[in-house]
Structure 1
Amino acid sequence: MSKWLCALLLACTCAAQAAPQAAPPDEMDRLLADKGLLSRLEGVSQTVADRTTGLVVNAMGFLGVPYKRGGNSAETGFDCSGFVRAIYEQTVGLLLPRRADQQAAATEVIDRKDLQPGDLVFFNTMRRNFSHVGIYVGDGKFIHSPRSGAQVRVEDMATAYWAKRFNGARRVGTDVDIPAAR
């Protein structure tokens, strides 16, 4: 979605919520339809829903793949950031940076309460921020490649180990300038 369209949507939403004399919802819908924006909005929301569903479904297909330090494929195994990187490249064509801390730096900070399936969740597992990453799948759970001797699996963020180490949440934007390189 273009930055212009995002700004317009935000402005319309804020104006509608803040001003009691703002146009009634049916007039707003009519205005958006007249400008051709209503169909664009519906298409964008469907694209976002498809993308997050595809990410989670694709990620679930790798359950049981073994952990391998520095690994970035199902054939050889994944480490945490290699797993996230592979899922994003295969599903949406974005090649994220290689390390978890780099992935955190390249993505948009979001509040934990705003997590949606497909967002990235980061943890401090090696006494440094953003040393572990997974993909949020919804309902307080995430999928990741945890450690040596383990396999790609889904875990609950509320368990004591993960809750204590939670470092933050990030969203990979639709306008991220990280093209997939082949």
Structure 2
Amino acid sequence: MAQARTASTAPASPCTCGAAPESNSPHNAAGQYRAVRTKVSWRNLKPGDLMLLYGYGHVGIYVGGGRWVHAPGKGRPVRKESIHGWVRSKFNGAVRPGM
């Protein structure tokens, strides 16, 4: 079985949880929210949207089907989880990069 990727060991890619998939984007959730013009409501989430939680202190990527991927913290495995429950209660907003 392959070793799980963690927030600190995952390879760099255009869609890491630490940076929006746009060139020259800020490397923190609050900056990403401010930098992307297209804001998205909970009801209008589409795959690829960046979801921001905890007062814009945490970001993940909506992948569709009521699920998202995010790195819960340094050294912890990147997870694909349901957006219902705790995620909904901590949701502050979403943005759609590239729009």
TM-score tier (shorter): 0.7 to 0.9
In the superposition, the TM-score normalised over structure 1's length comes to 0.45
Bigger fraction of residues in strand: 2
CA contact (8 A) 2:51 2:62 kept: yes
Does the alignment pair 1:133 with 2:63?
no
Structure 2 counterpart SS, 1:66: coil
Does the alignment pair 1:110 with 2:40?
yes
CA contact (8 A) 1:101 1:131 kept: yes
CA contact (8 A) 1:145 1:151 kept: yes
Of residues 38, 48, 64, the one that matches 2:4 is 64
Tell me the distance in 2 between the aligned counterparts of 1:131 and 1:138: 22
For 1:74, the aligned partner's letter is P
In the superposition, the TM-score normalised over structure 2's length comes to 0.78
Structure 2 counterpart SS, 1:164: helix
How many pairs align?
93
| Structure 1 residues without counterparts, runs of 5 or longer | 1-62, 175-182
Structure with higher RCO (Cα < 8 A, 6+ apart): 2
Identity of aligned residues (%): 34
Tell me the distance in 2 between the aligned counterparts of 1:95 and 1:143: 22
1:172: Cα distance to partner?
A: 1.0
Indicate the structure (1 or 2) with the bigger Cα radius of gyration.
1
Structure 2 counterpart SS, 1:97: coil
| Structure 2 residues without counterparts, runs of 5 or longer | none
